[in-house]
Chains A and B, each alone.
Chain A
């Protein structure tokens, strides 16, 4: 009722101001205005408001017209944008001044480059061949060393069953406080597995599920000595990460149980041969890094290292972290087993100091051993 009156009054005032009232109506309204100061005040206020509204409308419409005009002319090439001519000018001056010196330097540089190229071309075939050889040798050495270490372990510790033969190894990481670990399927060439924590504790683990095509495997620590952590300090990224994003990894490429930190960046959103399930990373990855987690700056898990380019030093490939969810879904484990997975936040470690992040993460990354 009250609002209806208000609306009616406002309408009358507006029509009065716009001159839309009939002469009799207008006369009536004016006498009302004279006798009622409240109404008079409302008229003054509204007239000012209508004026402001008209100004607003005019400017808004004109701005649009002006902008469109500018854009049309600009698109037609009416002006060439030149930014900060004064600084460009300085650079040009400098260039003129040092032109000669630069030219000489460039010539010398070019000459050296030419010689280098010729020499490289001359020597490269034999060099490349030995490099490839050396690399594969290195893999062999690690394998034999791992076997030797296996024997050693066999002698000293009891967790590895008697007559067990170490087949392969790599890195893995916890995805759940209950002891679920993700690693590469190719890390588990044997039919049994054992994990070693960063502080050297050996733990027995069951192979829950492997997906050879995705090259992912799910393990579960099955050992009384396992102390379940309260939380997992990283979240698993579901979205694709951005090109150029700084990444780092932690793995066990060495023969001892020392964790190794590696830094690099995401160099392509697809893996080897355009594989959309993987990323290409610019990172130095050695054998043993297989299954190592790849984190971004916010300590979000974005991928799992699995292969490297043989010909190109420093190029590695990582399976996208979203594939972990597919693996879990395929593993026939109920969601209850991973109830923490979805709620994980890269909480305390996010954006904090890298050293702090690493010491935080170490305890969740395991050295994986597979044996028969």
Chain B
């Protein structure tokens, strides 16, 4: 089985190299615009990325002991990694988006297979077009922080959770939140928001410091 995984993987790699060689300046320009759109949560950019690259990942995952749903999850993870990477101002992609996404997905998927005990040989980064190890590690750290925040927020209960999500996630104004949650004025809502924030911070740091 291991042999099979490798064989299919390599055939993909060949396809990728092929694709790289016919790379044009025009495509490079489009890619830049695409990443800029991604950084700004442009739904058109996200759609383009899915349309252009998900098929490849679906093919890779389903040919390597995975299901369609696995492919979807893995691609979503890779998209998040790319999204968070382009958030940095210092961001630069030294390769094509396709190469990057494929490398991340391959890495994530083989890691998952390893965890399930379906793929035994160690991951060989030399085989990859680009090394994404540091990116993967960074993404894993962010995953941990995200999970802690998620748990902390969810254990708050209402109205705290809704109030904080409204303010920090959905960027709603204090007056809007006061109306939504039935506070007589925005000052009352603001006071409540800060009380909730203090609780959230306590919960968050209790977990976060253990993680360190």
A interface with B by C-beta (< 8 Å): 3, 6-7, 10-11, 45-46, 49, 52-63, 65-70, 72-73, 78-79, 81-86
Per-residue A-contact encoding for B174-203, CB less than 8 Å = 1, 0 else:
000000000000000011001101100100
- Known A-B contacts A55-B146, A61-B41; the reply to A84 vs B204 at CB < 8 A is no
List the 3 closest A-B pairs by CB distance, nearest first. A81-B68, A56-B149, A7-B194
Least CB separation from A78: chain B residue: B51
In the bound complex, do residue B58 and residue A79 qualify as a contact, i.e. CB atoms below 8 Å apart?
Answer: yes
In the bound complex, do residue A63 and residue B76 qualify as a contact, i.e. CB atoms below 8 Å apart?
Answer: yes
- Provide the residues of chain B in CB contact with A60, threshold 8 Å: 169
Distance A45 CA – B204 CA, assembled complex (angstroms): 11
Residue B133 CB within 8 A of the other chain: no
17 A-B pairs besides A73-B51, A79-B55 with CB distance below 8 A are: A10-B194, A49-B204, A52-B145, A52-B204, A53-B168, A59-B83, A59-B146, A62-B79, A65-B41, A66-B76, A67-B76, A70-B72, A81-B67, A82-B68, A83-B67, A85-B62, A85-B63
CB distance from A341 to the nearest CB of B (A): 38
Within 8 A of A (CB), among B42-71: 43, 46-47, 50-51, 54-55, 58, 62-69
- Known A-B contacts A69-B43, A79-B54, A84-B66; the reply to A55 vs B76 at CB < 8 A is no
Residue B150 CB within 8 A of the other chain: yes
| Interchain CB contact (< 8 A) of A59 among B54, B84, B195 | B84
| Interchain CB contact (< 8 A) of A84 among B54, B67, B76, B191 | B67
CB distance from B192 to the nearest CB of A (A): 10
B interface with A by C-beta (< 8 Å): 4, 41, 43, 46-47, 50-51, 54-55, 58, 62-69, 72, 75-76, 79-80, 83-84, 87, 142, 145-146, 149-150, 153, 168-169, 190-191, 194-195, 197-198, 201, 204-205, 208
- Provide the residues of chain A in CB contact with B75, threshold 8 Å: 70
The main secondary structure of chain B at its interface with chain A is: helix
- Known A-B contacts A52-B204, A53-B168; the reply to A63 vs B4 at CB < 8 A is no
Distance A361 CA – B14 CA, assembled complex (angstroms): 69
CB distance from A123 to the nearest CB of B (A): 51
CB distance from A55 to the nearest CB of B (A): 7
- Provide the residues of chain B in CB contact with A82, threshold 8 Å: 58, 62, 68
Give the A-B pair count, Cβ closer than 8 A: 106
- Provide the residues of chain B in CB contact with A7, threshold 8 Å: 191, 194-195, 198
In the bound complex, do residue B142 and residue A55 qualify as a contact, i.e. CB atoms below 8 Å apart?
Answer: yes
CB distance from B120 to the nearest CB of A (A): 17
| Interchain CB contact (< 8 A) of A86 among B4, B76, B142, B191 | B4
The 30 sampled A-B contact pairs (Cβ below 8 Å) are: A3-B195, A7-B191, A7-B194, A10-B194, A53-B149, A56-B146, A56-B149, A56-B150, A57-B169, A58-B84, A58-B87, A59-B80, A62-B80, A62-B83, A63-B76, A63-B80, A66-B50, A66-B79, A68-B43, A69-B43, A70-B54, A70-B72, A73-B47, A73-B51, A79-B58, A81-B67, A82-B68, A83-B68, A84-B65, A85-B62
Distance A69 CA – B83 CA, assembled complex (angstroms): 14
- Provide the residues of chain B in CB contact with A78, threshold 8 Å: 50-51, 54
- Provide the residues of chain A in CB contact with B66, threshold 8 Å: 84
- Known A-B contacts A56-B146, A58-B87, A79-B55; the reply to A70 vs B43 at CB < 8 A is no
Distance A338 CA – B198 CA, assembled complex (angstroms): 54
CB distance from A42 to the nearest CB of B (A): 10
Distance A53 CA – B205 CA, assembled complex (angstroms): 12
In the bound complex, do residue A10 and residue B41 qualify as a contact, i.e. CB atoms below 8 Å apart?
Answer: no
- Provide the residues of chain B in CB contact with A3, threshold 8 Å: 195
- Provide the residues of chain B in CB contact with A72, threshold 8 Å: 47
- Provide the residues of chain B in CB contact with A58, threshold 8 Å: 83-84, 87
Distance A54 CA – B58 CA, assembled complex (angstroms): 31
CB distance from B91 to the nearest CB of A (A): 14
In the bound complex, do residue B169 and residue A10 qualify as a contact, i.e. CB atoms below 8 Å apart?
Answer: no
In the bound complex, do residue A10 and residue B197 qualify as a contact, i.e. CB atoms below 8 Å apart?
Answer: yes
In the bound complex, do residue B47 and residue A59 qualify as a contact, i.e. CB atoms below 8 Å apart?
Answer: no
- Provide the residues of chain B in CB contact with A6, threshold 8 Å: 198
In the bound complex, do residue B41 and residue A49 qualify as a contact, i.e. CB atoms below 8 Å apart?
Answer: no
In the bound complex, do residue A11 and residue B194 qualify as a contact, i.e. CB atoms below 8 Å apart?
Answer: yes
Distance A64 CA – B205 CA, assembled complex (angstroms): 26
In the bound complex, do residue A69 and residue B46 qualify as a contact, i.e. CB atoms below 8 Å apart?
Answer: yes
- Known A-B contacts A63-B76, A65-B41; the reply to A86 vs B168 at CB < 8 A is no
CB distance from A79 to the nearest CB of B (A): 6
- Provide the residues of chain A in CB contact with B51, threshold 8 Å: 73, 78
